[in-house]
Amino acid sequence: MKRIAFTLLLMMAASMAFAQDNDEKTEVVVLMKSQYDRTKLCRQAACFPSRAARRTYIVETLKAFSEASQYDLRQTLEEMERNGMVESIHSLWMSNALYFSATQSALSSLSGRTDIALISRNIKRQWIPEGEIPSKATDSREITPNITQVNADQVWNLGFKGQGVVVAVVDSGVNYEHEDLADHLWDGGSEFPHHGYDIVNNDDDPMDDKGHGTHCAGTVCGDGTSGSLTGVAPEATLMCVKSINAEGFGGAVNIAGGMEWAVEHGCDVISMSLGMVGAEVADKEILRRTCEAVLDAGIIALVCAGNEGNAFLQLTYPVPNNVRVPASCPPPYLDPDQQVNPGGLSCVMAIGAVNGNDAAADFTSQGPVTWQDSEFGDYAYNPGIGLIRPDVCAPGVNIKSLDYETTNGYCELSGTSQATPCVGGIVALMLSKNPELTPAQICQILEETSVKLTPNKSNITGVGRVDALAAVNAVPACDDVIEVDGHQCRIFPNPSKEDFTIECAGMQLIEVFRMDGRLVKRIQAEGPVHQLKGLMNGTYLVKIATEDGIIVSKVMKL
């Protein structure tokens, strides 16, 4: 109660300075006190046979939990809405929060509720790190140097180019008409015809009106149709999510909403070159809650550390507040160097930037960070101790990628924003080899295979600069034995350049689906062994009906 009252008092004092009368409304975010049992939920989700099935279960369970715990408050808010005291009520099911606009009398009434943990103003802030100003790139045909620096082109020779992996770029939107993206965009069907969603304007058109998101998307999966191959994973599927406006501003609720939308609609990876400096406690808590839920859903997020690392900006944003939120959220795997000061986990890998010589960029933000003054209370800070940020680094200086003002042009940008989608593309390559990798496995592999730049994990460059080839080589192959309730099936080889062999006792029906859900083959099985032939290159879901139940597995044809 004390936390609600104090935050509300400050908020109302600020609002009253501008209020004309008591009917003026303030946009607020409300964090509910009730939180789900993460350990129990993840244990239940582990019973499902695939990452996709586990994600679906987590999403449905969290939405039901949020709806139930918010029910009484929503009834009150809807009554206030009918009386003109509240408007524009929205729910965030990952963080169990609501945001809406309310009069001061409504806020005073809500402050007495025992089911609310925190009420705070939803302040619109600058999310894109400062200093990322595009310049026109030279007109040439090449594989861009950042790709070769991390050895991604050598991974392509192994047959892994991001096929079958959906990467959500949560940013200023994407120019989905750019030729280098147009043939591998997420298919949202008639409901989402523009390959994603605009959280800011609450519509189905996430067209980029700033340029930042298009440039980042090009580093994930630009395929070089117009001349320059800029994408680390040129055959990954791109999901476009717009969470900030044309000026680069938005509230924490926009970012949380963008992550929610991407996970709910089937992304495998989130690349997010966004971050907030000087965040309020409520902003930090809503984003960490969201990032914990994203982890529980089995999704990893690559997030830029920020560009406030130079000496001048460190005067304004000193450590432990130099790294932007949500890059300050903890990773899904704790490096041995972090074990001296452990804490909770989330989906976030924080990404720093290096130049073409693997030297730290002068702008890259520096850790450590702390969460000791939040509801989480972990990663206590003393000079040199806290949560080490970033985790890894990638090329982020003079990066050539897509120009949103054209459908075939390029431009250059520098920043941790440009390093982040490079790592997002590498994760797509890793998931091409093994779609069942967990966020913890991805994080651990990336850290352990990075080119070491310091003896220990550093608060400037993390463990080191990522190496795509080393990371993919370290990824274990898909487990070709699938077991459900003691019943085993085997599909091999997987991935395969030819046919697949399915071995499964009691097999009755085999159905093969594209990743967008379209049925490709339906086969009546005869006997315990079947040769699956004739698939085009790509990733598929194989559904096997047996005497004992249904088994689902993912296969890749190279």
The number of residues making up the chain comes to 558
**Structure confidence at residue 486 (pLDDT):** 52
What is the model's pLDDT at position 66? 97
Contacts of 199 by beta carbon, 8 Å cutoff, 6+ apart: 241, 242, 243, 254, 257, 258, 261
CA angle 377, 380, 384 (to 5 degrees): 160
The pLDDT assigned to 147 comes to 98
Tokens 């080490």 belong to 388
Question: What mean pLDDT is predicted for residues 370-388?
Answer: 94
- Residue 260 is predicted with a pLDDT of 98
pLDDT mean over 261-279: 96
Nearest in space to 320 (alpha carbons), one of 334, 331, 306: 306
Give all strands of the β-sheet with 410-413 in edge-to-edge order: 135-136, 410-413, 399-402
Average pLDDT over residues 212-223: 98
pLDDT at 481 over 90: no
* Tokens of residue 157, six digits: 């020779």
532 three-state secondary structure: strand
Confidence band, pLDDT 50/70/90 cuts, at residue 173: very high
Q: CA–CA separation, 430 vs 461, rounded Å?
A: 22
What mean pLDDT comes out for the span 192-221? 97
> For residue 548, what are its two tokens?
């004992």
Q: Crossing angle, helix 38-45 and helix 51-82, to 10 degrees?
A: 140
Residue partners of 448: CB distance under 8 A and separation at least 6? 463, 474
Supply the pLDDT for residue 482: 56
Task: Please give the DSSP secondary-structure letter assigned to residue 428.
Answer: H
Average pLDDT value for residue range 206-232: 97
For residue 179, what are the contacts with CB-CB under 8 A and spacing of at least 6?
A: 225, 226, 407, 408
Q: What is the mean pLDDT of residues 305-326?
A: 95
CA 118 to chain centre: 25
DSSP class per residue in 92-131? ETTTTEEEEEE-HHHHHHHTT-SSEEEEEE---EE-SPTT
Alpha carbon distance 327, 278 (integer Å): 13
User: At a CB cut-off of 8 Å and minimum separation 6, what does 340 contact?
Assistant: 385
Given pLDDT bands bounded at 50, 70 and 90, which one contains residue 476?
confident
Q: Tell me, what's the pLDDT at 15?
A: 45
> Which stretches of 388-535 are DSSP H helices?
416-433, 439-449, 468-474
Give the other-Cβ count within 10 Å of 82's Cβ.
Answer: 9
Residue type, 5: A
| 557: confidence class by pLDDT, cuts 50, 70, 90 | confident
- Whether the predicted pLDDT of 274 surpasses 60: yes
Please report the pLDDT score of residue 6 as a whole number: 41
How many other C-beta atoms are found inside a 10 Å radius of the C-beta of residue 370? 23
pLDDT at 5 over 50: no
Residue 4 pLDDT exceeds 60: no
The residue written with tokens 């990893």 in the block is 300
Range in 16-30, 398-412, 466-480, 524-538 with the lowest mean pLDDT: 16-30
**351 neighbors 390 (Cβ within 8 angstroms):** yes
Phi, psi of 121 (to 5 degrees): -65, 140
Question: Which CATH superfamily, name and number, covers 481-557?
Answer: Macroglobulin (MG2) domain (2.60.40.1930)
Contact 247, 258 (CB under 8 A): no
pLDDT at 3: 56
The mean pLDDT of the chain is 91
Report residue 18's pLDDT band, with 50, 70 and 90 as the boundaries.
very low
CA 228 – CA 247 distance, rounded (Å): 28
Every domain of the chain with CATH number 3.40.50.200 lies at 139-474
Q: What whole-number distance in Å separates Cα of residue 416 and Cα of residue 366?
A: 11
The β-bridge partners of 513 are 519, 541
> For the ranges 92-106, 246-260, 379-393, 541-555, which has the lowest average pLDDT?
541-555
Q: Which of 23-27, 329-333, 372-376, 459-463 has the lowest mean pLDDT?
A: 23-27
Q: Dig out the tokens for 327 from the structure.
A: 């890059």
pLDDT tens track for 231-253: 999 999 999 999 999 999 999 99
Using alpha carbons only, what angle is made at residue 181 by residues 178 and 184, rounded to the nearest 5 degrees? 145
Q: What percent of the chain has pLDDT over 90?
A: 75
Whether pLDDT at 478 is above 70: no
Residue 48 identity (one-letter amino acid) = F
Position 136 scores a pLDDT of 80
Between 308-322, 425-439, 535-549, the lowest mean confidence (pLDDT) is in 535-549
Q: What is the mean pLDDT of residues 441-453?
A: 96
Q: The tokens of 110 are what?
A: 């809500």
pLDDT above 70 (res 70): yes
**Residue with structure tokens 């990075």?**
450
Q: How far is the C-alpha of 412 from the C-alpha of 392, rounded, in Å? A: 22
The first and second tokens of residue 244, run together, are: 């900030």
User: Across the strands, what pairs with 524?
Assistant: 509
DSSP 237-281: EEEEEE-S-TTSEE-HHHHHHHHHHHHHTT-SEEEE---BSS--H
Lowest mean pLDDT among 122-136, 303-317, 330-344, 427-441: 122-136
Tokens 């929205």 sit at which residue?
Answer: 90
Region 130-158: what's the mean pLDDT? 89
Task: Report the pLDDT value the prediction gives residue 110, as an integer from 0 to 100.
Answer: 96
CATH number for region 139-474: 3.40.50.200
Q: Is the predicted pLDDT of residue 318 greater than 70, yes or no?
A: yes
**Which pLDDT score is estimated for 487?**
58
Q: Is the pLDDT of residue 11 over 60?
A: no
Q: Which range is least confidently modeled, 133-137, 145-149, 272-276?
A: 133-137
Instruction: Tell me what the mean pLDDT of segment 40-55 comes to.
Output: 84
Q: Flag whether pLDDT at 254 surpasses 90.
A: yes
Res. 22: pLDDT tops 70: no
Q: How far is CA 492 from the centre of its chain?
A: 31
Please say if the pLDDT value at position 83 is more than 90: yes
* Closest-CA residue to 266 (of 164, 355, 345, 338): 164
β pairing state of 410-413 and 399-402 = antiparallel
**Collapsing DSSP states into helix, strand and coil, what is residue 314?**
helix
CA-based end-to-end distance of the chain: 58
Cα distances from 31 to residues 93, 115, 287, in angstroms, run 11, 9, 11
In whole angstroms, give the CA distance from residue 120 to residue 265: 29
pLDDT at 74: 97
Ranges of CATH 2.60.40.1930 domains, the chain: 481-557
Q: What is the DSSP letter of 537?
A: S
Q: How many CB atoms lie within 10 A of CB 448?
A: 14
Collapsing DSSP to helix, strand or coil, 299 comes out as coil
Average pLDDT for 147-165 = 96
